Amino acid sequence: MAQTSENVTWLTQEAHDQLRAELEYLSGPARAEITQKIAAASEEGDLKENAGYHAAREEQGKMELRIRQLTQLLERAQVGAAPADNGVVGPGMVVSVAWDGDEDDITTFLLGSREASSDDLETYSPQSPLGRAIDGRKVGENSTYELPNGRKTTVKIVSAKPHQG
């Protein structure tokens, strides 16, 4: 499949390395641990009423889902340097927008992958309606886009700085 901006996830080298290490851990040592837990719990007898067995199987399912997510993400990841600090909005930027031109109603977020986000900063995908509306715009510019309910809203880009991870 050819990569387009719609299906590429931009990651810094650091974020890529962290995700690759997580995938290697989950695919190797963690998989072996959960297999041992399941085997030990299944030796305890009746599986219908074995809470340890069911908990281990549920943990295994979550882990396998995360392995699939990481594999897909890393397959379409594009590793690059942090974006330039030039006031142009793009993936990897911390952006502040004023809603409908109201300088008192400002939202600040990371435009990028949830995988590269931090706990203290909300993350918006570049493929989201807001992300598409502001991608490539400069500080001071306005952009109007359609909300999921069909109404339109305008945001003014107040600032755009590279995320410092």
Q: List the CATH number of the domain containing 108.
A: 3.10.50.30
Predicted pLDDT at 111: 87
- Tell me how far apart the alpha carbons of residues 105 and 71 are, in angstroms, rounded to a whole number: 38
Range of the domain at 23: 9-79
15 shares its domain with 75: yes
63 shares its domain with 98: no
* CB of 23 closer than 8 Å to CB of 74: yes
Examine residue 107 and state whether it is found in any structural domain, yes or no. yes
Predicted pLDDT at 157: 94
Examine residue 58 and state whether it is found in any structural domain, yes or no. yes
Mean pLDDT of 68-94: 83
1 vs 79: which has the higher pLDDT: 79
Res 131 pLDDT > 50: yes
113 band by pLDDT with thresholds 50, 70 and 90: confident
**Domain termination residue (choose one: 20, 52, 79):** 79
Res 3 pLDDT > 60: no
Count how many Cα atoms sit within 13 Å of the Cα of residue 43 in the half-sphere of its side chain: 6
Mean pLDDT of 118-146: 88
Domain count, the chain: 2
Q: Which residues contact 77 (CB under 8 A, 6 or more apart)?
A: 8, 9, 10, 11, 16, 19
- Tell me how far apart the alpha carbons of residues 57 and 154 are, in angstroms, rounded to a whole number: 47
Examine residue 84 and state whether it is found in any structural domain, yes or no. no
CATH number reported for the structural domain that contains residue 61 in this entry: 1.10.287.180
Res 133 pLDDT > 50: yes
- DSSP code per residue over 34-53: HHHHHHHHHTTS-GGG-HHH
70 shares its domain with 48: yes
* CB of 12 closer than 8 Å to CB of 82: yes
Q: Which residues contact 144 (CB under 8 A, 6 or more apart)?
A: 133, 152, 153, 154
Nearest CA to 54 out of 68, 36, 37 is that of: 37
Examine residue 88 and state whether it is found in any structural domain, yes or no. no
7 band by pLDDT with thresholds 50, 70 and 90: low
Predicted pLDDT at 11: 74
What is the number of H-type helices and E-type strands within the chain? 4, 7
Examine residue 99 and state whether it is found in any structural domain, yes or no. yes
158 vs 118: which has the higher pLDDT: 158
Q: Does the global pTM surpass 0.85?
A: no
Name the average pLDDT for the chain: 84
8 band by pLDDT with thresholds 50, 70 and 90: low
DSSP 28: I
